[in-house]
Structure 1
Amino acid sequence: MKNYPKKGYLISNFRVFHLRDKQLRPIPFHYHDFHKVILFLGGHVDYIIEGKLYHLQANDIIFVSAGEIHRPVFLDDKAPYERIVIYVAPEFLQRWQEQADLAQCFHTAKDKGSVMHQLPNRSHDLLFHMDKLEKTAHGEGFANGLYTEILFIEFLILLNRSIEDHELETLGSVSYDEKIQQVLTYINEHLADDLSIETLAGKVFLSRYYLMKKFKADTGYSLHAYIRSKRLLYARDLLRTKKTVTDISREAGFQDYSTFSRAFHGLFHCSPKEWRAHHLSAAASRSSSF
């Protein structure tokens, strides 16, 4: 099985970058363990997220949730690809869950569209706040780590308020195949069920051959690789709970534990129990980092 790569690592609660690339090399489909927010500043770029192709405009905001398969598509290199990128650990957002659902922007993006456009005459200048956050994150000074975290929380609050106040609208310039989206939705809502190619093809009234070919073209994955990756990502998330590993393997759609364990090790290079132990240690480290 071809494993699509997990790119990047996040050892802190969040990181901020202002990037400007003149020479653009193709980037393969990949996913992250963390959420990502991108403020697109310039260039000729489209963005594919879970089978949907978004045609970007300057000042668009891109939301990529942890585990979502994505990649940018460079249309030409006449203008540099410039953007501000924020990586954020899901655990950091969970810590604030009782006070406010700071992850609401990612939930909304999943439901309504992963790319949003900033409307004129808005209350909050998100570029200003992202730029200030990026400069502070790479600066020094008294209590700089604490100050950076405060600015980051402020930015997330303003971002969610902008969505709630309808100052960000879902990007209209998006292309996708309706039947492939139906298959993607069905897979992600039925990970524990039978997801054979015959079953999926029957759901959308397509031939097996056409479905496999079209699915690979739109998502970068074979159906088998996509389903297995999503089941393993879901199982990894469940390892944060107190459920037994055996129960998790069944809930994620694996018929037996040994198959699950081998597949998990193949993707994450450790056993489920080792991942759980490492996660507990990393979460404790993050909670004491500020």
Structure 2
Amino acid sequence: MSNEYNFKIPTITNYEVNYYFSDTETLCPARIYPFHMHDSIEIYILLEGDVSFAVESSLYKLSAGDAIITKPNEMHNCILNSDSLHKHLCFWFDCGSGFLFGDFLSHDFGKNNLVSPDAESKKTLSNLYEELKGASDAGDTHRQFYITLQILYILRKFVSGESSPQILPDSLTAILRDIDENFSEIKRIEDIVSKHFISRSTLNRLFREYLHTTPKKYLESKRLAYSRMLLREGKSVLDACMEAGFSDCSNYIRLFRKHFDITPKQYKDSKKF
């Protein structure tokens, strides 16, 4: 008796991925990259180095072979903790296919971004990264396609696992939760200071020490990320500005262009999402 099987997947109209490899043997100085976000899924994979990643209000310490997955509009930045090698690769996937990327989009913002495959899977992935580099250098598009699918297949097995961020002080956790929930209503940093009974200097120190940014920049990034979502939904530039908590539209446009090298109107009118 033979068994017959069949399966069918939804049509994948566009499979697009950008990526790069960084395998320099040169020591990189300790550095804090600025907060940013994308319209695609980013998968950052550490191969060697002393690296942490901040995603929204969570901070993750990576080991070699670990990955950080961020979905569209999820605020994040890379932190080189010390002078060290920084070997890594990074993918940006167009996430139009729910069949392929649903599991990679299922987490809440700033939750469970760290993916830590087991030792055997890390070894398999390492071999796939080398194969992908060879296929990329050879311009073998079919091989690139199949290898990236294999990489996604392995990472997907570990996406649903709970990932533990670094522990933050209770006071900072409460402040970050407040900003996450009320960023559009917070008018000044002094509002945070008075509400949480904390000095301005202590507030700045906590943000510098744990998130490697300032309260002002963190708040601006949250507002900008939300405004991008509103623009994608069809809101006008003025409505996106006001609803995200900016009081001055000209300042909003300046900040948007500074962060994304494009104006809010150009972003709204673009077809990339």
TM-score interval w.r.t. the shorter chain?
A: 0.7 to 0.9
CA distance in structure 2 between the aligned counterparts of 1:102 and 1:149, rounded to whole angstroms:
19
Pick aligned residue for 2:34 from 9, 30, 34 = 30
Q: What aligned pairs does 1:122-271 form with structure 2 within 5 A after superposition?
A: 125-141=124-140, 144=141, 146-164=142-160, 166=161, 170=163, 174-271=166-263
Q: What aligned pairs does 1:270-285 form with structure 2 within 5 A after superposition?
A: 270-277=262-269, 279-280=270-271, 283=272
Q: Could you say which residue in structure 1 is the equivalent of 2:23?
A: 19
CA distance in structure 2 between the aligned counterparts of 1:62 and 1:123, rounded to whole angstroms:
14
8 Å contact 1:49–1:71 — kept in the other structure? Answer: yes
- Which amino acid in structure 1 is aligned with residue 125 of structure 2? L
**Counterpart of 1:87 in 2: which secondary structure?**
strand
Deviation string 1:121-148 (CA, Å, 9 cap, x unpaired) is 669933333333333233224xx1x542
Task: Figure out how many residues of one structure are paired with residues of the other and give that number.
Answer: 254
8 Å contact 1:261–1:271 — kept in the other structure? Answer: yes
Give the Å deviation of 1:235.
1.4
Give the Å deviation of 1:88.
0.5
Q: Describe the shift of the 1:22–1:122 C-alpha distance in structure 2 as closer, same or farther (beyond 3 A).
A: closer
Between the aligned residues of both structures, percent identity stands at: 20
- Which amino acid in structure 2 is aligned with residue 17 of structure 1? F
Q: Describe the shift of the 1:100–1:87 C-alpha distance in structure 2 as closer, same or farther (beyond 3 A).
A: closer
CA distance in structure 2 between the aligned counterparts of 1:241 and 1:276, rounded to whole angstroms:
9
Q: What aligned pairs does 1:103-118 form with structure 2 within 5 A after superposition?
A: 104=104, 107=107, 110-112=110-112, 114-118=113-117
Query: Normalising to structure 2: TM-score of the pair?
Result: 0.74
8 Å contact 1:240–1:276 — kept in the other structure? Answer: yes
CA distance in structure 2 between the aligned counterparts of 1:104 and 1:56, rounded to whole angstroms:
18
- Which amino acid in structure 2 is aligned with residue 162 of structure 1? F
**Counterpart of 2:235 in 1: which secondary structure?**
coil
Structure 1: gaps (5+ residues): 1-11, 285-290
- Which amino acid in structure 2 is aligned with residue 170 of structure 1? S
CA distance in structure 2 between the aligned counterparts of 1:126 and 1:116, rounded to whole angstroms:
13
**Counterpart of 1:110 in 2: which secondary structure?**
coil
Query: Normalising to structure 1: TM-score of the pair?
Result: 0.71
Q: CA RMSD in A?
A: 3.3
Q: Describe the shift of the 1:160–1:220 C-alpha distance in structure 2 as closer, same or farther (beyond 3 A).
A: same
**Counterpart of 1:20 in 2: which secondary structure?**
coil
Q: What aligned pairs does 1:67-86 form with structure 2 within 5 A after superposition?
A: 68-77=75-84, 80-83=85-88, 85-86=89-90
**Counterpart of 2:129 in 1: which secondary structure?**
helix
- Which amino acid in structure 1 is aligned with residue 66 of structure 2? D
Give the Å deviation of 1:20.
3.2
Q: Describe the shift of the 1:53–1:257 C-alpha distance in structure 2 as closer, same or farther (beyond 3 A).
A: closer
CA distance in structure 2 between the aligned counterparts of 1:22 and 1:151, rounded to whole angstroms:
28
Give the Å deviation of 1:246.
2.2
Structure 2: gaps (5+ residues): 1-15
Q: Describe the shift of the 1:121–1:68 C-alpha distance in structure 2 as closer, same or farther (beyond 3 A).
A: same
